[in-house]
Amino acid sequence: MNVAESDARLVARARGGDARAFEDLVRRHLRAAHAVALGVLGNPADAEDVCQDAFLAALERLEECRDPDRFAAWLLRIVRNRALNARESRSLRTGEPLEPGPGQAWIAAEDPARDAERALLRERLLAALAGLTPAQREVVLLHDLEGFKHREIAELLGTSEGAARVQLFQARRALRRLLESEDRGD
């Protein structure tokens, strides 16, 4: 894949039957899709399932993408809708995944103390994220993990840019409170 190749060009190639072009779109947008699904569902395994389902739906409906330059927003709306449907239709499993998900690669311990500290921090953050509402979790993951701009988040959530900023502010404040209460042992 040409690094500078636009989403629109990849969509055009994929519409023409180029499977590699769609694979490139998947690679390019998988992290963001997973962040959206995880924000809605709160469970990495469920988020992976929804992402796979959403990418398959996007491939099947690629001709429906009216503005290929905005493929990412179109795809993430599909992911979000699928995640919301999944949340409504099944109760979420509790427990830790047996295998790492995207962005959670398990690496052989080179520094056990550092690895233990990171594992503890990851547990604390996941627990605090689980304490947020799905909307708060989604905004924090999209902005702080995936680097989405407020305008992009607003478009994805179907709200104004100002409302997206307020949601992020409130989500961060809630996250901070959850982490601070854990530090105090509340």
Domain covering 1-90 assigned CATH 1.10.1740.10 in the classification: yes
**Measured between alpha carbons, how far is 185 from 165 in angstroms, rounded to an integer?**
30
Per-residue confidence (pLDDT) for residue 3, from 0 to 100: 54
Please answer whether residues 131 and 182 qualify as being in contact, where contact means their C-beta atoms are separated by less than 8 angstroms.
no
In the CATH hierarchy, which top-level class contains the domain 110-186?
Answer: mainly alpha
3 state DSSP class of 123: helix
What is the per-residue pLDDT across 113-155, written as a single tens digit (0 to 9) for each?
887 888 888 788 888 888 888 888 888 888 888 888 888 888 8
Domain boundaries, the chain: 1-90, 110-186
Whole-prediction pTM: 0.65
* Residue at 36: amino acid letter: V
Q: How many CA atoms lie within 13 A of 5 on its CB side?
A: 15
46: CB partners within 8 A, 6+ apart: 37, 86, 92, 93
Question: What is the mean pLDDT of the segment spanning 93-110?
Answer: 50
